[in-house]
């Protein structure tokens, strides 16, 4: 009897994957290989061929960024805004809500805080989701350590736009209502909040089409080529652990978290 071919599920993608791929596809591939090694207990080798030609830029096309609004200062929530979702894995989120504004959706309480879009094979956790008085939902991504001063130069809008688009889609899939924008909030904890700011990123049909195409691009990329550049490599975790043969710069000490790696190399 002929063996029945088993269909492999599409590769799982997160908002973080999209951001990483937009910097360096090989970095994303190394992170996926590490994760697969941890899950299976077997060494999973990155798909990137050894004779790959490094790229100057990621092949991911940039997302639409018309209508992005950059705001200096605090993000103030309205008295009738509600907190309907919070990532329990992020203990240092800012306290923006009074006790009576916290109404976390019972479907997404710990340990079920991962939002999943089965149609796209996308999952992730915004830092929190605000429900406004008219029912509109707003995912918020909080970056505590980044100064807002020099925002355009040091961080760039593209990463924020990608993350906000992916989180809007997750909220749409999980809550059944499409957000019309997402927010990235810069808390500037190190600077005692002196340089807070936030970015409002629109979400609509164009952004959703971009997301579909971007995930298709990632899944169909059989090479996951490296993009060696100081701006990428200096903060790249696989570089920190000596896993990348293409690194253009040493990993920066200021980015060093505790190492947690399984032993595999490309």
> Which residues lie near ligand SF4 (CB under 6 A)?
24, 26-27, 30, 226-228, 232-233, 236, 238-239, 244, 246-247
Q: End-to-end CA distance of the chain, in Å?
A: 39
- CA quadruple 226, 65, 164, 70: dihedral sign: positive
| CA–CA dist 168, 208 (Å, integer) | 9
* Nearer Cβ to ligand SF4 (8/56): 56
CB of 208 to ligand SF4, least distance (A): 28
CB of 241 to ligand SF4, least distance (A): 10
CB of 165 to ligand SF4, least distance (A): 22
CB of 184 to ligand SF4, least distance (A): 22
* Nearer Cβ to ligand SF4 (28/165): 28
Neighbours of 256 (CB within 10 A): 11
Token readout for 16 is: 């973080």
* Nearer Cβ to ligand SF4 (9/259): 259
> Residue 228's Cα: distance from chain center in Å?
21
| CA–CA dist 72, 199 (Å, integer) | 9
* Nearer Cβ to ligand SF4 (15/228): 228
* Nearer Cβ to ligand SF4 (49/89): 49
Instruction: Name residues whose C-beta falls within 8 Å of residue 102's C-beta, 6 or more positions apart in sequence.
Output: 82, 83
CB of 89 to ligand SF4, least distance (A): 24
| CA–CA dist 63, 234 (Å, integer) | 24
């Amino acid at each position: 009897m002929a063996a029945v071919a088993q269909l492999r599920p599409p590769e799982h993608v997160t908002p973080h994957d999209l951001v990483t791929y937009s910097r360096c596809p090989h970095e994303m591939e190394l992170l996926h290989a590490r994760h697969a090694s941890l899950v299976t207990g077997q060494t999973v080798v990155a798909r990137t061929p050894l004779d790959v030609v490094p790229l100057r830029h990621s092949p991911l096309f940039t997302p639409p960024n018309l209508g992005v609004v950059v705001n200096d200062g605090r993000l103030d929530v309205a008295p009738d805004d509600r907190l309907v979702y919070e990532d329990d894995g992020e203990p240092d989120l800012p306290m923006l809500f009074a006790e009576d504004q916290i109404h976390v959706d019972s479907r997404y309480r710990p340990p079920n805080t991962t939002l999943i879009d089965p149609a796209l094979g996308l999952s992730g956790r915004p830092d929190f989701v605000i429900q406004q008085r008219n029912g509109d939902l707003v995912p918020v991504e909080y970056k505590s350590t980044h100064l807002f001063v020099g925002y355009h130069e040091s961080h760039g809008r593209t990463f924020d736009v990608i993350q906000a688009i992916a989180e809007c889609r997750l909220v749409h899939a999980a809550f059944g209502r499409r957000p019309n924008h997402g927010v990235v909030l810069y808390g500037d904890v190190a600077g005692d909040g002196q340089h807070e700011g936030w970015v409002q990123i629109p979400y609509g049909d164009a952004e959703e089409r971009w997301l579909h195409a971007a995930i298709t691009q990632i899944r169909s990329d059989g090479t996951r080529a490296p993009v060696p550049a100081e701006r990428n490599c200096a903060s790249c975790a696989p570089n920190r652990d000596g896993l990348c043969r293409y690194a253009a710069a040493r990993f920066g000490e200021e980015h060093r978290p505790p190492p947690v790696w399984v032993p595999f190399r490309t």
